[in-house]
Amino acid sequence: MDVTYARDDVVTFTKSIYSLIIFLVLWEAVAQMGLVYYYYLPPLSDVLARFVELTLSGEIPYHSYLTLRRALVGLVIGTVFGILVGILIARNAVAEWFFDPIIKIGYPIPIIALVPVFMLWFGIGDQSKIIMVAIGTFWPIAVNARNSAQRIDKNYIRSARMMGTSDRRLLWRVVFPAASPGIVTGLQIALPLSLIITFVFEMVAGGGGLGALEIEGVRTFDPTQVYATIIAIMLIGIALDRALRLLRNHYLRWV
Amino acid sequence: MSDGDISISNLEKVYDDGAEKTKAIEDLSFDIDSGEFVGVVGPSGCGKSSLLYLIAGFLETTDGTISVDGEPIDGPGTDRGVVFQDYALFPWRTVMENVTYGLEEQGVSKEERRSTAQRYIDMMDLGGFEDRYPKELSGGMKQRVAIARTLAYDPKILLMDEPFGALDQPLRESLQDQLLDIWRDLEKTVVFITHDVEEAVYLSERVMIMTRRPGTKKTVVPFDLDRSLDREEIITSDKFVTTKNSVWKSLREETQPEVQP
Ligand SMILES: Nc1ncnc2c1ncn2[C@@H]1O[C@H](COP(=O)(O)OP(=O)(O)OP(=O)(O)O)[C@@H](O)[C@H]1O
Ligand SMILES: [Mg+2]
């Protein structure tokens, strides 16, 4: 059973990357034949060579670290507050009255538009970026936590109460676990968002990080650095998404 | 000291969801002795579950009072254990973790929790499924986990809402007899809702028949028998058949459509 399973996996994987391979081959061919300016699109092989070079020189690892740190610290802060506020709205009428309108207004705001405002208020350093990621990721987490906490089966709460769970402990014993699938759904939205916000902020404000590295490629007329940086951020995005899925499959296997 | 008696007087329950008011229970008075086994039957939607939830303290009474051991109830308490019609198991906990929940809340040690829980899991014929999650179980299995979970923390009063509804006949009969053993050995008060008249009469010392909605007590049919007899002898006895028929008759009057004047 395991063997066929693994084979099936390989088959599906190969199938799913057919189109990608065709795309990459086309890229190389088009660029090698000089159909586009080198500055627009250098050949894939040049980009890969530059990617390896920047990785070995330590530049990509260093800037990845800066980007990841900003994104993840901000994400953790946004997640903690998002869970707290989301659950509070669902469980407390006063909190609902106060926070629900804020969430309704805040959620759809394209947070990226506020980068210049953040630069005015908090400067261009790490702090400013982290605060923006925290605020940007707060909304999807809060909305999803609220929705799932509002939908908890009444009889779960009743069961817990009859078995002796106090009102205060109810939050940890029932509300949080029951809402956790919704919270993780929010996290799956918030995670790529945290990378996007960090990346864009770095492009605009500098201070290192992959966004800044990419823009530097433009300023120094080095298109291979631009594309190599894009590869790095893509790999990071895919790896984090995979990691979150693994965690989900493990901790939410009861869903 | 008396413990586990229930006194219901002039109970009324009206659901008000803002747009519409539904009177589920009207002027119901009924006393249940400590250690008694009372069956409740009535037409669907007559307010049986509502009555049980009111006794459990999950719902506020609209009028009237419910007292347990002479004290008006104030919310849910560990003296009363409900077996829910829709099971209400915690989906994030395994079978074992569901059954140990009440004991965890009481601060019972881990080994003791597990051994107590295992006893009820085995009694419900769920051995081997300890580490499964509720989503992996059939309806009948979930129902048995729900029963084990409630028995495990040892409430004085058992409030059971069609607890054997999803089980096949042989299992149902075996669990009925086990419930009778538990009731006798542990001297519990049991309020048992069912739509199966034979089950109600077989298990109960008294069967309360409810009217259609708004539900109230219609009649109470007592059934005292020699519990030393076995199932076969009981269900074939004249007394059992007569009692069953009188409950049937009373219930049928409520389920048949009202004759328009
Ligand atoms: N939360 C609620 N809000 C409004 N009406 C309700 C609510 N719960 C129950 N009712 C209504 O109250 C009446 C009694 O419901 P209840 O669930 O107590 O009946 P029941 O006798 O248990 O029915 P069944 O045999 O089908 O389980 C029904 O008409 C039902 O629609
Ligand atoms: Mg019901």
pLDDT digits (tens, 9 = 90+) for B124-148: 999 999 999 999 999 889 999 999 9
Nearest CA-CA distance, residue B181 and chain A, Å: 23
Alpha helix stretches (DSSP H) within chain B: 48-56, 95-105, 110-123, 139-152, 169-186, 197-203, 231-236, 238-255
Identify the pLDDT of residue B226. Answer: 77
Beta-sheet strand order (sheet of B21-32): B21-32, B6-16, B63-68, B71-72
The whole-angstrom distance between B232's CA and the closest CA on chain A is: 36
Q: How confident is the model at residue B151 (pLDDT cuts 50, 70, 90)?
A: very high
* Nearest ligand, CA B213: 1
The per-residue pLDDT for A34 is: 86
| Closest Cα to atom 11 of ligand 1 | B24
In this structure, are strands B21-32 and B189-193 parallel, antiparallel, or unpaired? unpaired
Between the alpha carbon of residue B5 and those of residues A88, A212, B152, the distances in Å are: 39, 75, 21
pLDDT by residue (tens digit) across B188-209?
999 999 999 999 999 999 999 9
* DSSP track, chain A: -HHHHHHHHHHHHHHHHHHHHHHHHHHHHHHHTTSS-TTT---HHHHHHHHHHHHHTTHHHHHHHHHHHHHHHHHHHHHHHHHHHHHHHHH-HHHHHHHHHHHHHHTTS-GGGGHHHHHHHH-SSHHHHHHHHHHHHHHHHHHHHHHHHHT--HHHHHHHHHTT--HHHHIIIIIHHHHHHHHHHHHHHHHHHHHHHHHHHHHHH-SSSHHHHHHHHHHTT-HHHHHHHHHHHHHHHHHHHHHHHHHHHHHTTT-
| Res A2 pLDDT > 70 | no
Query: What average pLDDT is seen over chain B?
Result: 92
* Interface predicted TM-score (ipTM) of this complex, two decimals: 0.91
pLDDT of residue B254: 86
Closest among B136, B132, B124, B217 to B164, alpha carbons compared = B124
Please give the CATH superfamily to which domain A40-251 belongs: MetI-like (1.10.3720.10)
Mean pLDDT of B112-128: 95
Report the atom number in ligand 1 closest to the C-alpha of B51.
18
Q: Which amino acid is at B114?
A: R
- Selection from A72, A77, A75, A67 nearest residue A198 by Cα: A67
Return the percentage of chain A with pLDDT > 90, whole number.
Answer: 78
Residue-level pLDDT at A6: 60
Chain B positions touching A160 (Cβ under 8 A) are 101
What is the spatial distance between Cα A245 and Cα A62, in angstroms, rounded to a whole number? 26
Looking at per-residue pLDDT, the higher value among A11 and A118 belongs to: A118
Name the closest-CA residue to atom 2, ligand 1: B15
- Which of B78, B84, B133 lies closest to A164 in CB terms? B78
Percent of chain B with pLDDT over 70: 97
Record the tokens describing residue B133, joined without a space.
């999650």
- pTM listed for this prediction: 0.87
Which tens digits make up the pLDDT trace of A179-193?
Answer: 999 999 999 999 999
- Give the nearest ligand 1 atom to B52 CA: 18
The predicted structure's pLDDT at residue A4: 52
Protein residues with CB under 6 Å of any ligand 1 atom: B 15, 17, 22, 24, 42, 44-50, 85, 213
User: In whole numbers, what is the pLDDT of chain A averaged over residues?
Assistant: 92
Q: CA-based Rg of chain B, rounded to a whole angstrom?
A: 19
* pLDDT (mean) for B15-43: 94
User: Furthest-apart CA pair in chain A: how many Å?
Assistant: 75
Looking at residue A5, its pLDDT comes to: 59
Report pLDDT digits (tens) over A20-46.
889 999 999 999 998 888 889 999 999
The band of B11, judged by pLDDT with boundaries at 50, 70 and 90, is very high
Convert the pLDDT of each residue in A72-109 to its tens digit: 999 999 999 999 999 999 998 999 999 999 988 888 88
Residue nearest to atom 22 of ligand 1 (CA): B49
Q: Strand order of the sheet with strand B206-210? A: B80-83, B157-161, B189-193, B37-41, B206-210, B217-222
**Domain residues of chain A, as ranges?**
1-36, 40-251
Residue B121 has pLDDT above 90, yes or no: yes
Structure tokens at B9: 């007087």
Residue B1, pLDDT score: 41
* % of chain A beyond a pLDDT of 70: 96
Confidence at residue B89, expressed as pLDDT on a 0 to 100 scale: 97
Q: Is the pLDDT of residue A7 over 70?
A: no
Closest A-chain CA to B91 = A254
Asked if the C-beta of B76 comes within 8 angstroms of chain A's C-beta atoms, the answer is yes
Atom of ligand 1 nearest to the CA of B42: 21
Residue B66 phi, psi (nearest 5): -125, 125
Number of Cβ within a 10 Å radius of residue B60: 8
Q: What separation, in Å, do the N-terminal and C-terminal C-alpha atoms of chain B show?
A: 52
Q: How far does the centroid of ligand 2 lie from the alpha carbon of residue B161, in Å?
A: 7
SS (H, E, C) A226-237: HHHHHHHHHHHH
**Helix axes of A126-150 and A115-122: crossing angle, nearest 10 degrees:** 120
* Chains A, B: CB pairs < 8 Å: 63
**Which member of A155, A165, A254 has the closest CB to residue B86?**
A155
Distance separating alpha carbons of residues A54 and A224, to the nearest angstrom: 10
> At residue A1, does pLDDT exceed 70?
no
Q: Is the per-residue pLDDT at B245 higher than 90?
A: yes
Q: Is residue A151 over pLDDT 60?
A: yes
* Residue position matching structure tokens 């809060």: A142
Q: What percent of chain B has pLDDT over 90?
A: 77
Task: Reply yes or no: is the peptide bond before residue B214 cis, omega within 30 of 0.
Answer: yes
| Both tokens assigned to B17 | 């969801």
Instruction: Give residue for tokens 């569901």.
Output: B98
Neighbours of B146 (CB within 10 A): 26
Asked whether the beta carbons of residue B153 and residue A180 sit closer than 8 angstroms, the reply is: no
Per residue in B49-93, pLDDT (tens digit) is 999 999 999 999 999 999 999 999 999 999 999 999 999 999 999
Radius of gyration of chain A from its Cα atoms, rounded to whole angstroms: 23
Residue B165 has pLDDT above 90, yes or no: no
pLDDT of residue B112: 96
Shortest CA distance from A161: residue in chain B = B76
How far are the Cα atoms of A143, A178, B104, B132 from residue B96, in angstroms, in the given order? 33, 18, 12, 8
Which domains, from first to last, does chain B contain? Answer: 1-79+158-261 (3.40.50.300), 90-154 (no CATH)
